[in-house]
Structure 1
Amino acid sequence: MLTAVRDAFAGNGELTERQGAVLLVSAGTVFSLTAISLAAVEDASDFQFLTYRGASTTLAMLLLIVARRGGRPVSFAGVTRNVWLAGFTLGATSMLYILALSRTSAATTLFLLAAAPIFAALIGWVVLRERVERSTLVAIGITAVGVAITVGAGLDIGSVSGVLFASGIPVTVGLYSVLMRSVSGVDPVVPALIAGSVLTLCSAAAALATDGLGISLRDGALACVSGGIALGIGLPMFNLGHRSVAAARVPLLLMAEVVLAPLWVWIWPGETPNAATLVGGAVILGAVVWLMLVSKHATDTAPSSRAAAIPVD
């Protein structure tokens, strides 16, 4: 497995679907570290955390570009307006994710994130005129019920801004998915590099206007775990793995993040989600899993190389 991943990373050969699936589950597991990293922060403000998260993500992408020079170099050819927009959207998603986590529960944020595949289908229909299957329409209706339950729970506990930030995440992730499908030939490292740079600049400007950029070594290290490791390692694993897996199965494999992130902060520091959040989350997860299962017949052909939705948190 490790040898196959190393060779595929260097551009020598492709992964099997099972190997790609293992990488996607691993990517979701790595992505889930962000929730507990933020929960462990002591003094850093949201924008201070985001600044160092963005900077470490950018550094990780630059190191990846250097590492790939000897095998499959990162190509910057074909960087269009949509690629830039995808990068900005990815950066906005990362910002919304941290702002939501700091204002509402991890369970609320992650369960709403789980609705991203549904929004991707809806936005794809509006923007790309992609046909929406009847099963997708049913899943959208079920998801709307789950979102309403989850949002209602958030409003009850007074986290209005957190729920609003969290509600925007599936929309931006869905938009990112559609944008990447429109520029499927671009190297996936490029929008990630743009996202990290945009996140760093925008967050640094906000931090300088409020609290400055000075934070403790502990908080800075946690931000780097969230960016340099969770995104710096998770994104390359995702980008490599999804090429060998049918696109409709990708969100299901990434459910590892949705399940694990609330679990980590439930174990420590003891953030217990309320009953309504769990019910709403179960409805959303059920809709997405059901959609993936009924779409199985369309994914039993050769795996799609088309870019799929990234839950970049």
Structure 2
Amino acid sequence: MLKAVRDAFAGEGDLTERQGGLLVVGAGVLFSVTAIAYAAVEDATDFQFLAYRGASTALAMVILIVLRRGGRPVDFSTVTRTTWIAGVVLAATSMLYILALSGTSAATTLFLLAAAPIFAALIGWLWLREAVARTTAIAIAITMVGVVITVGAGLEVGSTSALLFAGMIPITVGLYSVLMRSAPGVDPVIPTLIAGTVLGVVAGVVAILQGGLAISLRDIALASVSGGIALGLGLPMFNLGHRSVAAAKVPLLLMTEIVLAPLWVWIWPGEVPSVGTLVGGAVILGAVIWLVLVSRDAPSAAPSSRLGALPAD
């Protein structure tokens, strides 16, 4: 598995569907730490947090690019308009997630995020002509049942704007999944570098207009954990793993984030999840594990599409 991932990351082979699925699941585990990092912030505003999150993500990618110069350099010649669009969509998704968490409960945000497989399946069918496999459809249905169980008893509406931000997340996640499926030749580092840079610049400008970027070292460290580690490691794993997984299945495998985020908050700072959260989380995790187990072992070729053929800018 490790050798296959190393070779695929260097562009010297393809992952099987199961291997790609495991990478996506691992990315969801890393993404899940963002909720607890944001909850632990003391004084930083949303855009200050986002500015340092984006900057740390971009910095992590720069370090990775430098480390790879001697052996497997990052190939920027494959960057197209699709790659830029994907990076911007990813930056927007990160911003929407934090803004949603600031005005509504994590359960509400994650509940709406769970609709991402539906949008990914629809967009993938329209743009990539990817049929939704029966196993994926079954897993989607089971996952939705688990999410309803998890948050149905204590769903908090929150502010209207935060609910709107949360409602846009599954659309952007589904769109990003399909965009990346349509550009299989792009190095997994590049979209993350674009997203981190765009997020850091845009959020930084807003933060400066609101009063500046000065925050405590503790808050900078928390933002860096959610950026340089959660996104800096998770996004390259996600970008690589998605290539061998159907667009509708990718967001479904990311349900590990929805399961684990409440558990991290349970461990610290001690917010005990409800019975519904535990039962629903078990249902979701079971659907994800089942989907990985039934995935094919043969390499899966990425489909071609109009998006993948867009010329470089």
TM-score (norm 1): 0.78
Comparing 3-12 with 212-221, greater Cα deviation is found at 3-12
Alignment correspondent of 1:80: 80
Whichever residue aligns with residue 299 of structure 2, its letter is: P
Query: Aligned runs of 1:100-115 on 2, under 5 Å?
Result: 100-115=100-115
Name the CA shift for 1:135/1:305 in 2 (closer, same or farther; >3 Å): closer
Aligned partner of residue 77 in structure 1, secondary structure:
helix
Whichever residue aligns with residue 65 of structure 2, its letter is: I
Residue 152 of structure 1 deviates from its aligned partner by 9.8
User: Matched residues, percent identical?
Assistant: 67
RMSD across aligned positions (CA): 3.8
1:53-112 alpha-carbon deviations (Å, 9 max, x no partner): 000000111111112222322111232222111111000001111112222222332233
Alignment correspondent of 2:65: 65
For 1:268 and 1:255, locate their aligned partners in 2 and report how far apart those are by CA, in whole Å. Answer: 21
Is the contact made by 1:118 and 1:139 (CA closer than 8 Å) also made in structure 2?
A: no
Residue 212 of structure 2 is aligned to residue 212 of structure 1: yes
Is the contact made by 1:7 and 1:13 (CA closer than 8 Å) also made in structure 2?
A: yes
1:170-191 alpha-carbon deviations (Å, 9 max, x no partner): 1101001111122222222211
Residue 273 of structure 1 deviates from its aligned partner by 5.8
Alignment correspondent of 1:163: 163
Alignment partner of 2:300 out of 294, 304, 308:
304
Aligned partner of residue 117 in structure 1, secondary structure:
helix
Query: Aligned runs of 1:134-173 on 2, under 5 Å?
Result: 154=155, 156=157, 158-173=158-173
Is the contact made by 2:61 and 2:189 (CA closer than 8 Å) also made in structure 1?
A: yes
For 2:271 and 2:117, locate their aligned partners in 1 and report how far apart those are by CA, in whole Å. Answer: 27
For 2:137 and 2:283, locate their aligned partners in 1 and report how far apart those are by CA, in whole Å. Answer: 14
Aligned partner of residue 232 in structure 2, secondary structure:
coil
Unaligned segments of structure 1, at least 5 residues? 308-313
Query: Aligned runs of 1:225-240 on 2, under 5 Å?
Result: 225-240=225-240
Alignment correspondent of 2:191: 191
Is the contact made by 2:253 and 2:288 (CA closer than 8 Å) also made in structure 1?
A: no
Residue 38 of structure 2 is aligned to residue 42 of structure 1: no
Residue 113 of structure 1 deviates from its aligned partner by 2.1
Is the contact made by 2:88 and 2:194 (CA closer than 8 Å) also made in structure 1?
A: yes
Residue 226 of structure 1 deviates from its aligned partner by 0.6
Aligned partner of residue 233 in structure 1, secondary structure:
helix
Number of matched pairs: 302
Is the contact made by 1:135 and 1:291 (CA closer than 8 Å) also made in structure 2?
A: no
Whichever residue aligns with residue 72 of structure 1, its letter is: R
